[in-house]
Amino acid sequence: MDLALCTDQRPADVLKFNVTDIADGSLSLIQNKTGKKLRIAIEGELAEVIDRIFAKLRDKVNEMNKALLQDPDGQRLSYFALRSRFDKARDLAGVSFQFRDLRAKAATDTDDLAHAQRLLGHKNRSTTEIYTRDRKGDLVKPLARTCKS
């Protein structure tokens, strides 16, 4: 889930990440839905997430399976397993949202619509605005008059 939040990618794209997609300080992918090619810089929180994943993978990566996300048996994590783990974590946290909401949250948290658009792989700014427009609300200034108590 941290990998999905840091990369702002769809579950299917997160599940297809391979160790070999990491090169030159970035994580590369071609989005399933749009075909958009992206290279996401591995820095900050994403670097920490990748380090945690590698610490768990240590001896599990082999010629047959280079998946970045693996189950305890060393097999590529399935969509069902990801969904099940997400549902369990969400229920334990006592919150109510869907996995797909992570993309909108990440886009909103960037505070930079152009950056969010590139990260999401949207061709049109208006598509990105749909993800972010009502999440935080408009920042407005108060009336410029003296308020008396």
SS3 readout for the chain: CHHHHHHCCCHHHHHCCEHHHEECCEEEEECCCCCCEEEEECCHHHHHHHHHHHHHHCCCCCCCCCECCECCCCCECCHHHHHHHHHHHHHHHCCCCCCCHHHHHHHHHCCCHHHHHHHHCCCCHHHHHHHHCCCCCCCCCCCCCCCCC
pLDDT given at position 74: 85
- How many domains would you assign to the chain? 1
Residue 101 lies in a domain: yes
Write out pLDDT tens, residues 122-149.
888 888 888 776 666 666 667 666 655 5
21: containing domain: 2-132
**24-28, 70-74, 89-93, 145-149: least confident range:** 145-149
Residue 55 lies in a domain: yes
Residue 142 lies in a domain: no
Write out pLDDT tens, residues 18-60.
999 999 999 999 999 989 999 999 999 999 999 999 988 876 6
Domain with 67 in it: what CATH number?
1.10.443.10
Residue 62 lies in a domain: yes
Residue 125 lies in a domain: yes
